[in-house]
Amino acid sequence: MSIERFSLGLIGHPLEHSLSPQLHRTALQELSLQGDYLLYDIPPLPAGWADLDALFKKMRSGEIQGLNVTIPHKLSVILFLDRLTPVANAAGAVNTVMQQENLLVGDNTDVMGFIADLQRQIPDWLIIQQKKDRTALVLGAGGAARAVVYALASSGWMVWLAARRPKQAKDLIEDLKRKSSDQILDITPISFEQNSIQAIAPDCHLVVNATPLGMFPNIQDNPWPEGSAYPKNTFIYDLVYNPAETALIQAAHQAGLQAANGTGMLAEQAALAFEIWTGKPAPKEKMLEVIVNSIRKLP
């Protein structure tokens, strides 16, 4: 049965600076599809329980066709869903919810969105690096980090995971290895302290910031340990995209390193979600253009 009007949206908190509405409204317009994309600012559980429950009831009734999920709900929404896709189950986090056979299904397009953009951004010197020898340091252990760590580890990278709460990093790794069908995930937790990161940094080909540090309005924050030197021959990927040049990226450039922000990943994951909901090929280049232009206009 064809859908005459798509009702889509984003769950998260806070959401006042989200670019997702512009992205998806542009995609709907480009494909001449009727619909809209709304923001659902819902506080963390337990305060947001009733609002989440009401929202998913609307989705079950057909009032809403698709929902994205961002901080702080990428794990908590799982409580309201009927099942997860293999990728979402392995990653242990959901960023996209869809309906399949009257069931609410959680997916994770962050995984493929990150890998797709990383492959587009990655320097030539790293492309030729043997997969079995690629090493990455991921900063953070939240929902975004879960997707990034799983994406890298399942693609053959050796991953170090640094989080300010060591138990959170260890729990993430244990959960990924338990849920993943790939039993060769090579992930090691390390301390977020300067000495620990400095010890492994020289061997890193890639550093990914999966924390919100540096995001507007706290643009002065940098997740890299203060006083630590940046490793040579390392590519820096910051999932933060507002501002376009974060404190981490600025410091990386000053150290002579190549770096990228999260705009490409945002466009890729959004396009994948859009295709899941509508069954139509997303206008990815147009969506990326919208992000870049929108970020330029942000304070």
Nearest to 64 by CA among 76, 80, 49, 79: 80
- Rounded to an integer, what distance in angstroms lies between the CA atom of residue 43 and that of residue 268? 26
Residue 57 annotated in active site: no
How many residues belong to the chain? 299
Do β-strands 96-100 and 83-84 pair in parallel, antiparallel, or remain unpaired?
A: unpaired
- Rounded to an integer, what distance in angstroms lies between the CA atom of residue 123 and that of residue 259? 9
Do 274 and 282 contact (CB within 8 A), yes or no?
yes
- Rounded to an integer, what distance in angstroms lies between the CA atom of residue 278 and that of residue 199? 47
Name the active-site residue from 57, 74, 132, 170: 74
CA angle 293, 29, 271 (to 5 degrees): 65
Torsion 151-159-75-238 (CA) sign: negative
Query: By 3-state DSSP, what share of the chain in percent is helix, strand and coil, each rounded to 5?
Result: 40, 20, 40
Nearest to 69 by CA among 169, 141, 139, 147: 147
Do 55 and 64 contact (CB within 8 A), yes or no?
yes
DSSP 237: E
Do 140 and 223 contact (CB within 8 A), yes or no?
yes
Place of tokens 């890729």: 268
- Rounded to an integer, what distance in angstroms lies between the CA atom of residue 177 and that of residue 92? 10
Give the catalytic positions in this structure. 74
